[in-house]
Structure 1
Amino acid sequence: MTESTKTDEKTSAPPAPVRTSAVARWRWGALAVLLVLAVYAPFQLAPFYVFQLTMVLVYAVALLGLNLLVGHAGQISLGHGAFFAIGAYTAAILMEREALPYPLTLPVAAAVAFLIGLGLGVPAMRLRGLYLALVTLAIAIFLVPLLKRFEELTGGSMGLTLAKPQPPAWTGLAEDQWLYFIALIVAVGAFLLVASLLRSRVGRALHAVRDNEIAAEVMGVRLSFYKTLAFAWSAMLAGVAGSVYTWVIGFVSPDSFTVNLSINLLAGIVVGGLGSLSGPVLGGLFVMFVPSISQDINDAAPGVIFGLLIIAVMYVAPTGLAGLAGRLIKKIPRKKE
C-alpha cells in the first residue's frame, strides 16, 4: 500500500462524534429551568413547603462543603455536623448576646468554622481512611456535651431562641419567602464559588490527591497542604449553612446537632452523588425528606426504613442520583455531527 493510499484513508475516515456538546446543552438547560422554578416556587407554595425548600437549600450548602472534602479530595469525614453547629451557634451568639445584625453573622460564622477546621485539619490530615473517619466522628461526639457545658454562652441544654430576620417593607414578601430567597442567594453564591474553585489549579490538585496520592506527590502536589485546605473549606461551607439555619429556624440547641446529623449528611452526599455539583442539591432533598418519610411509614422503626431506603437508592444508582441522571442524559439520541 502506497503512502498516498494511506493518506487518503486517513483523510476519509469519519470524524469522532462530539458527545460533550449535547451533554453541556442539557446541563445548562436544566440549570436554567431549575433557577426559574426556584424563583417561582415560593409564590405558589404554602408557607410550610416554602420552609422545607429553604431547608433543602441550607443542607445543600452544607453538603457542597462535604462533597468538596469527600467527593473531590477523597477524604472521609463523619464530623461535618459539628462544623454546621459551629456556624449555627456563632450566628446565634452574635445575634442574641452581641445584638449583631444577622447579615454580618454570616462572614463571621464562615471565618470561625474555617479557622477551627484549619486547626483540626492539620493533625487530622496526617491520617487516612478509617482512622480519619474515627477522628472526625470524635469531633461530632464531644461537641454536644461541650455546648451544654458553657451554659452562660450557649444556653446549655435549653439552647438559644432568637428573632427571625424580617423582610424589608419594600420587598412585599412574607417572612418565609424572605428567608427562602436569602437561602437561595447564599446557595447560588456558594455553588458558583466551588465551581470556579474546581476549575482552577486547586481543583486539579484536589482531584489528583483523590485519584492517586503517590502519583500526585510525584507531580509536586503538596498532599498535606491541599488536604488541610479542603478540610478547612469544607468546614467553612458547613459554617455558612449553619448560620443560615439559625436565621431560618430561630432556635439552636445541642440536641439539634448530634452525631445523627453528621451521618445523615454523609449519607445524603453519597446518595446525591459524590464529585458532582448537582449531588449536594439532590442530597439536600434526601436529607430533608427521607427521614420524615421514614417516620410516616413506621413510627416504631424510622431508622430501619431510612436504612432500607438508602440501600434501595444505592442499588438502583450506585454512583448516586446525579450519576444516574448523567447516564440517562447520555442515552438520549443525538444528531450525528
Structure 2
Amino acid sequence: MTQVEDAGVDARPERRRPRWTPTGRRRAAVAALLAAALYAPFQLVPFHVFQLTMVLVYAVALLGLNLLVGHAGQISLGHGAFFAVGAYTAAVLTHGPGLPYPLTLPAAAVVAFLLGLAFGVPAVRLRGLYLALVTLAMAIFLVPLLKRFEGVTGGSMGLTLPKPGPPAWSGLAEDQWLYFLALAVAVASFALVGSLLRSRVGRALHALRDDEGAAEVMGVRLPAYKTLAFAWSAMFAGVAGCVYTWVIGFVSPDSFTVNLSITLLAGLVVGGLGSTAGPVLGALFVMFVPSIAQDLNEAAPGVILGLLIIAVMYVAPTGLAGLAGRLIRKIPRKE
C-alpha cells in the first residue's frame, strides 16, 4: 500500500466537468427556443397567436434581407416589393386557377427569385446610394402597377381569399394551424440559409462584403454572387409574402407601400446585421414597435417610431443581437 493510499487521498486524476462550447450553447438555445415556439400557441389567446405568426412571417422576410445586406454587403430599399410579389403570386394563383395552397409557396418563391435575379443585374455596376435608389424605385412603382391591372390583382380593392383550414386529424384551431405552417416555413428557411452560409457560397458573400477588390483577387466572381444574393434575398421575401397571404386572407396594394420596405430595413438594423438572431429580433420590432408608436401618439406615430429607433441604436450600435451577445459575455462563468 502506497503512502498516498495510507493518507486516504484518492490518487486518480480529478475529473473536470466538460465546458460548453459556443456551438453547444447555441444549439441548446435553439432547442429551447424551438420548444417554446411549439408550446406557445396552446397557451395564448388567438390574437396573440396571430401576432406570433406575423413575427414568423416577418422573420423569414428579414432573413432574406439579412442575407443581402448583412452577409453580402449590398443595400435594398425595395424589399417590400419582393414581399408583395410573393403575396400577390399566391393570391392570384389561389383566386384564379384555384391552385392548392401548398403549391403556391414554391410558385411565389420562383417568381420572386426570377424578379430578384432581374433586379440583381444593376447591382453588378451600382453601389451605395445609387443601388439604394434603384431598389427604392421598384418599391415606388409597384403599388400603382398593382392597381392598374385590376382584372388580375383586384385593383385598389385587393383580393379576399379563404385561409387554409386545419385538417380534421390535427385537432387544431385555425389560428394554431396557421401558426404551425408559418413556423415550419421559418424553420426550413433558417436551416437553408444556415447551410448556405456555412458553404463556399457563404464565404464568398462575406469576402464580397468585406472587400470587393480582395474578393475578386481571391477568385470570387463578383457579378454572379451579387446577382445571386439579390435573387436569394428576393426568394425568401416572396416565401414570406406567400405565408402572409395564407395568414391574412387578403391582399391590397396599400399594404405594400414604400413604408414597408423602410420598416423592414430599419427592423433588420435594429435586430442586428449579419447575426443569426437579427431577423427574429427585427421581426419583433416590425410587428410591435409601430403599433406602440401609434398608441403613444396617434397624430405623429412616425416621429415616435424614429425616436425609438434612435434610442435603440444609441444603446446598441450593433443591434439588439449584438447587445445581447455583449451581456451574455459579461456573465461570469464557473471554472
Shorter-chain TM range is over 0.9
- TM-score, length basis structure 1: 0.93
Q: CA deviation at 1:280?
A: 0.3
d(CA) in 1 for partners of 2:20 and 2:223? 36
Corresponding residue pairs, total: 317
Deviation track 1:171-192 (CA, whole Å, cap 9, x = no partner) reads: 0000000000000000000000
Note if contact 1:23-1:330 (Cα within 8 Å) is conserved in structure 2: no
Q: Look up the equivalent residue of 1:69 and give its one-letter code.
A: L
Q: Look up the equivalent residue of 2:173 and give its one-letter code.
A: A
Q: Look up the equivalent residue of 2:256 and give its one-letter code.
A: F
Aligned match of 2:5 = none
Note if contact 1:124-1:135 (Cα within 8 Å) is conserved in structure 2: no
d(CA) in 2 for partners of 1:272 and 1:213? 25
Q: Look up the equivalent residue of 2:70 and give its one-letter code.
A: G
d(CA) in 2 for partners of 1:163 and 1:273? 36
Aligned match of 2:294 = 295
Note if contact 1:22-1:334 (Cα within 8 Å) is conserved in structure 2: no
1:74 maps onto 2:49 in alignment: no
Counterpart mapping for 1:264-275 below 5 A: 264-275=263-274
- TM-score, length basis structure 2: 0.93
Note if contact 2:123-2:226 (Cα within 8 Å) is conserved in structure 1: no
Q: Look up the equivalent residue of 2:28 and give its one-letter code.
A: G
1:110 maps onto 2:109 in alignment: yes
Matched residue of 2:194: which SS?
A: helix
Aligned match of 1:320 = 319
Q: CA deviation at 1:28?
A: 2.0
Counterpart mapping for 1:181-220 below 5 A: 181-220=180-219
Q: Look up the equivalent residue of 2:237 and give its one-letter code.
A: A
d(CA) in 2 for partners of 1:256 and 1:175? 23
Q: CA deviation at 1:25?
A: 3.2
Deviation track 1:33-73 (CA, whole Å, cap 9, x = no partner) reads: 11111000000000000000000000000000000000000
Aligned match of 1:12 = none
d(CA) in 2 for partners of 1:51 and 1:215? 46
Q: CA deviation at 1:22?
A: 4.0
d(CA) in 2 for partners of 1:293 and 1:67? 24
Unaligned runs of 5+ in 1: 1-19
Aligned match of 1:152 = 151
d(CA) in 2 for partners of 1:205 and 1:280? 21
Note if contact 1:26-1:329 (Cα within 8 Å) is conserved in structure 2: no
Deviation track 1:86-129 (CA, whole Å, cap 9, x = no partner) reads: 00000000000010001100000000000011011112331000
Counterpart mapping for 1:155-174 below 5 A: 155-174=154-173
Note if contact 2:122-2:131 (Cα within 8 Å) is conserved in structure 1: no
Matched residue of 1:62: which SS?
A: helix
Aligned match of 2:254 = 255
d(CA) in 2 for partners of 1:304 and 1:83? 27
Q: CA deviation at 1:325?
A: 1.0
Bigger mean CA offset, 325-334 vs 147-156? 325-334
d(CA) in 2 for partners of 1:254 and 1:265? 17
Note if contact 1:72-1:210 (Cα within 8 Å) is conserved in structure 2: yes
Q: CA deviation at 1:335?
A: 4.0
Q: Look up the equivalent residue of 1:97 and give its one-letter code.
A: G
Aligned match of 1:178 = 177
Counterpart mapping for 1:30-179 below 5 A: 30-179=29-178
Q: Look up the equivalent residue of 1:45 and give its one-letter code.
A: L
Q: Look up the equivalent residue of 1:243 and give its one-letter code.
A: C
User: Structure 1 pair 121/98, CA: closer, same or farther in 2 (3 Å)?
Assistant: same
Q: Look up the equivalent residue of 2:249 and give its one-letter code.
A: G
